[in-house]
Amino acid sequence: MTEPAAPVEETAAVASAAAVTATTLEAAAANPLRDPRDKRLPRVAGPCVLVLFGVTGDLAKRKLLPAIYDLGNRGLLPPGFSLVGFARRDWANQDFAQLTHDAVKEHARTPFREEVWKQLAEGIHFVPGEFSDDGAFDALAMALKEIDQTRGTGGNYAFYLSVPPKFFPTVVQQLKRTGLADAPEGSWRRVVIEKPFGHDLQSAHELNEITNEAFPESSIFRIDHYLGKETVQNIMALRFANNLYEPIWNRSYVDHVQITMAEDIGLAGRAGYYDGIGAARDVIQNHLLQLLALVAMEDPTSFEANALRREKEKVLKAVRLPADLSLNTARGKYAAGWQGGEKVVGYLDEEGIPADSVTETYAAIKLEIANRRWAGVPFYLRTGKRLGRRVTEVAVVFQKAPHLPFSKDDTEILGHNALVIRVQPDEGITVRFGSKVPGTAMEVRDVSMDFAYGESFMESSPEAYERLLLDVMIGDPPLFPHQREVELSWKILDPIEEFWATQGQPEDYPAGTWGPPSADEMMARDGRVWRRL
Amino acid sequence: MTSFMLTDTTAGKISGQLTRLRHQMGAPAVGMVLTLVVVCDERDQYDSVRSATEAAREHPSRILVVINRESDEANRLDAELRVGESTPGEVVVLRLYGELTSHADSVVSPLLLPDTPVVAWWPGDAPAVPSKDPIGMLAQRRITDAKTVPDGIKVLAGRAKGYAPGDTDLAWARLTPWRSLLAAAFDQPVDKVKKGFVDAAAGNASAPLLAAWLSERLGAPVKVADSAGPGLTAVRLTVDGGEIAVTRTDARLATLARPGQPDRHVALARRHTSELLAEELRRLDSDEIYEAALKRLSRTYKG
């Protein structure tokens, strides 16, 4: 059933989505062995093939292949699951199997077990070729047909494009030409793409046109691995499963919100990609604005993809930029300095970076949300490389108590109450509040109440990619951003990027510190400070 | 790991000592989510505590081990406290002597974590009606293990009568990977099942539970047949035009066969007690599916 307000294109998308997922969901509903009350049985993907483009890349080796193994180890891969690698290498199946084996041994989260590896290895195939080579894709189509017969995968394919965006058009065209993008009746075809989803609104739009030519929106899964993280999903649990926070989650009680993603590393070999893109496009456009949407949105009517995406879109649409961008944004690039006891070079001295680069490695922006809940509450977003340490968090900082019955001296060092959602590392939630210091005098000071994920739940929660890959294979889209969200995010960032483009070189900050002075000045103008992390 | 012995003590002293130990270690905040009460013999103690502490990595718990010693000695309570860096929770091993052996609940109840779930686990012998047991009455979830007792199937069948929501048995948890694989096989359309067999080593307590679950869900007779083992070795279901079969002879790798499709291998390893326990602790609500399977097992059991 579709909601009456849904626009026409969405209604169509919902209908086709229903048709595509029918094989899995309908059969599951008719399955006599499944029962919603039987919570021990995990969600297992139906029979399918995962085709991985870019198997030799860093992401494949460090995250994707280990995640596939971990899924297998947890019993979540279907019998007959097959993995097909495609790359420009003169390899046979066993060479790819060897690469997978090494990647799994080195990076898998769960212990290596021979029988799980055996199950996985049986389904590993490799197709060599270039993206522009028609013959190679014809060979891929043939190989997939054969796998359907020998492994019983029923024509269900997921194509994971772990390749630079410039290859997207070629690969998508090839999938269309060979008919691999069209699902026959009763099976599905899905495509998974990684960020960056363009570098501005227009390019994002063009990229989507290209993908849309071959795949309908409902079959496109955009991976923002942050959304696969347990802590990020827990934002929704925290807000909507509890009664404790929602009453104060608004402009009457919240002073401002700080969303931070700080990295201690520099470019780490990504110079070619990073220069010209910069911190804001790399991090704010996707991760931080998604976090903002989850923290600020209204409660969705359900956790189905449509309901959730609609709320996120609403809040992204309500985001307003400050009138004077020069006073309410800051950007910087790291200069040589000491980071965590190590001497490191400045951005312009990094290998592969031109000496006149104007790319920022630090970006901070102030946003407002024009709706009844948030009017007047600033959201400060910041991200940077070569900062003091690696940390990602969302801090909701509350207003000071309207009246303090204590003398001024008693509460001199009392700060704002705050609720901090620590996304990584050391996932958890901290609540900061004032407490009496033991002793005869009435002195109130800030203390923290702490919930650590690792302390109350699993020793190691599943990697984001495990969850996301499983969702792709099951066809469950809530954790994947919709194209509309991508475009709305670019609409927020584009004017800022345009403004920055007229401002010349970003300000320097020494590596290992917390960003340029202009970022602190920006907060000081509002009478606030960045949290010391 | 800090270990501390208390002899001839009381629950109050134990409680105080635990608080002191935690403060000494500089970790006064408790992130423990439940209390696990393990009732066992001295000889099961080591393995049970080990499994429980491993499960506690996933579910940080206060683990209370109750060991009943000689009942004809003078009344005495001895306790061994372990608070460690290696585990996120705490372990208290309680040794009860004399008349106290029949009043274990009086020791356990003041040591339970406030306002969090309590789980009782009998790694070996367990009361016939766990929910009527003094310790069982304190717990929301009561875990028994039919594998470790002689004549496990009979014990299991008998337990159906006294079943109360929250009862569960590790013989059922051992089946989850099998059930998950079978359910995955039925995610593709399958013809009506006519009959079936579960093959297992003689006396395996999980096999009749699996057969009961399958007959309950499929509406077809599923029988247990003896095999050489180890453990469960096969499930064979007869459908139109052939047989859906999962076979596993080495306790590690299984083969899934279905009509008109190639055979496929799936990892299906036996699991450690700690993994079974962790699965039990993940869901603390009552397991209606187990209840249905258990009651069917008891109806069809011919001792």
Residues of A whose CB is below 8 A from B179: 33, 38, 40-41
What is the C-alpha to C-alpha distance for residues A521 and B25, in angstroms, rounded to an integer? 42
List phi, psi (to 5°) of B131.
-75, -10
Specify whether B236 is located in the same domain as B198: yes
| Ranges under pLDDT 50 in chain A | 1-23
Residue B297 placed within a domain: no
What six digits make up the tokens of B200?
């297992």
CB count in 10 Å sphere of residue A149: 10
Specify whether B127 is located in the same domain as B177: no
- The CATH number, out of the four listed (3.30.360.10, 3.30.1600.10, 3.40.50.300, 3.40.50.150), of the domain defined by the range A230-462+480-525: 3.30.360.10
Best mutation target among A38, A109, A112, A461 (most B Cβ atoms within 10 Å) is A38
Residues of B whose CB is below 8 A from A151: 262, 264
Which of B186, B189, B285 lies at the smallest CB-CB distance from A33? Answer: B186
Specify whether B44 is located in the same domain as B125: yes
With CB atoms and an 8 Å threshold, state whether A455 touches B262. no
What is the C-alpha to C-alpha distance for residues A438 and A436, in angstroms, rounded to an integer? 6
Size of interface A-B (CB pairs under 8 A): 117
Specify whether B9 is located in the same domain as B139: yes
Looking only at Cα atoms, what is the longest distance across chain A? Answer: 84
The interface predicted TM-score of the complex, written ipTM, equals: 0.82
A177 closest CA partner among A132, A209, A219, A221:
A132
Specify whether B184 is located in the same domain as B226: yes
Band (B240; pLDDT cuts 50, 70, 90): confident
**Adjacency order of strands within the sheet including A124-128:** A124-128, A82-87, A49-53, A157-161, A189-194, A220-223
Residues of A whose CB is below 8 A from B288: 37
- The structural domains of chain A, with segments of one domain joined by +, span 48-222, 230-462+480-525
pLDDT digits (tens, 9 = 90+) for B12-68: 999 888 888 877 776 655 567 889 999 999 998 999 999 998 888 778 889 999 999
B37 closest CA partner among B127, B150, B98, B154:
B127
Domain count, chain B: 2
pLDDT for the residue numbered B86: 60
Residue B111 placed within a domain: yes
**Cβ atoms B6, B78 nearer than 8 A:** yes
Residue B57 placed within a domain: yes
Specify whether B136 is located in the same domain as B179: no
Helix (H, G, I), strand (E, B) or coil at A30: helix
Which of B33, B60, B180 lies at the smallest CB-CB distance from A41? Answer: B180
What is the C-alpha to C-alpha distance for residues A24 and A31, in angstroms, rounded to an integer? 10
For residue A279, what are the contacts with CB-CB under 8 A and spacing of at least 6? A331, A360, A361, A362, A363, A383, A384, A385
Alpha carbon A330 to its chain's center: 23
pLDDT for the residue numbered B245: 93
A343 lies within 8 A of chain B by CB? no
pLDDT digits (tens, 9 = 90+) for A354-364: 888 899 999 99
Strand (E) positions, A75-177? 82-87, 124-128, 157-161
Helix (H, G, I), strand (E, B) or coil at A364: strand
What six digits make up the tokens of B146?
């039919």
pLDDT for the residue numbered A273: 81
B99 is in which domain, residue-wise?
2-144
Residue B183 placed within a domain: yes
pLDDT for the residue numbered A8: 46
Compute, in degrees rounded to 10, the torsion defined by CA atoms A235, A237, A242, A245. 10
Which of A27, A118, A151 lies at the smallest CB-CB distance from B189? Answer: A27
What six digits make up the tokens of A12?
């169509």
Residue of B nearest to A69 (CA): B267
Specify whether B224 is located in the same domain as B140: no
For residue B51, what are the contacts with CB-CB under 8 A and spacing of at least 6? B123, B272, B273, B274, B277
Strand (E) positions, A36-76? 49-53
Which of A24, A37, A115 lies at the smallest CB-CB distance from B253? Answer: A115
**Cβ atoms A376, A292 nearer than 8 A:** no
What six digits make up the tokens of B179?
């059930």
A171 closest CA partner among A215, A203, A201, A202:
A215
Place of tokens 């103690």: B45
CB count in 10 Å sphere of residue A63: 20
Best mutation target among B191, B216, B265 (most A Cβ atoms within 10 Å) is B265
List phi, psi (to 5°) of A66.
-60, -40
Binding residues of A: 88, 130-131, 195, 225, 229, 263, 282, 385
What is the C-alpha to C-alpha distance for residues A433 and A396, in angstroms, rounded to an integer? 12
First to last CA, chain B: 48
Residues of A catalogued as catalytic = 287
pLDDT for the residue numbered A16: 40
Residues linked to residue A330 through DSSP beta bridges, in sequence order: A364
Band (B172; pLDDT cuts 50, 70, 90): very high
pLDDT for the residue numbered A13: 43
Residues of A whose CB is below 8 A from B217: 32-33, 35
Specify whether B139 is located in the same domain as B176: no
With CB atoms and an 8 Å threshold, state whether B253 touches A72. no
pLDDT digits (tens, 9 = 90+) for B95-144: 999 999 889 999 999 999 888 899 999 999 999 999 999 999 999 999 99
pLDDT for the residue numbered B176: 93
Specify whether B121 is located in the same domain as B65: yes
- The CATH number, out of the four listed (1.20.950.20, 3.40.50.720, 3.30.930.10, 3.90.230.10), of the domain defined by the range A48-222: 3.40.50.720
First to last CA, chain A: 47
**Cβ atoms A160, A50 nearer than 8 A:** yes
What is the C-alpha to C-alpha distance for residues A29 and A23, in angstroms, rounded to an integer? 10
Kindly list the residues of chain B whose beta carbon comes within 8 Å of any beta carbon in chain A.
29, 31-33, 57-60, 88, 173, 176-177, 179-189, 214, 217-219, 252-253, 256, 258, 261-262, 264-269, 279, 283, 285, 287-289
Alpha carbon A206 to its chain's center: 21
CB count in 10 Å sphere of residue A446: 14
A179 class by beta-carbon count within 10 Å (0-12 exposed, 13-18 middle, 19+ buried): exposed
Residue B118 placed within a domain: yes
Q: pTM of the full predicted structure? A: 0.84
Q: What average pLDDT does range B7-15 have in this prediction? A: 90
With CB atoms and an 8 Å threshold, state whether A41 touches B176. yes
Q: Give B106→chain A minimum CA distance, Å.
A: 27
Specify whether B197 is located in the same domain as B126: no
Q: Give A533→chain B minimum CA distance, Å.
A: 22
Best mutation target among B172, B213, B266, B277 (most A Cβ atoms within 10 Å) is B266
With CB atoms and an 8 Å threshold, state whether A33 touches B57. no
**Cβ atoms A111, A144 nearer than 8 A:** no
Specify whether B176 is located in the same domain as B78: no
* Continuous H helices in B28-146: 45-58, 104-108, 134-138
| CA-CA-CA-CA torsion sign (B92, B98, B103, B106) | negative
pLDDT for the residue numbered A461: 67
With CB atoms and an 8 Å threshold, state whether B177 touches A151. no
**Cβ atoms B32, B89 nearer than 8 A:** yes
pLDDT digits (tens, 9 = 90+) for B194-233: 999 999 999 899 999 999 999 999 999 999 999 987 889 9
Rounded mean pLDDT of chain B?
89
User: Element (H or E) spanning A329, and its range?
Assistant: strand A329-335
Residue B234 placed within a domain: yes
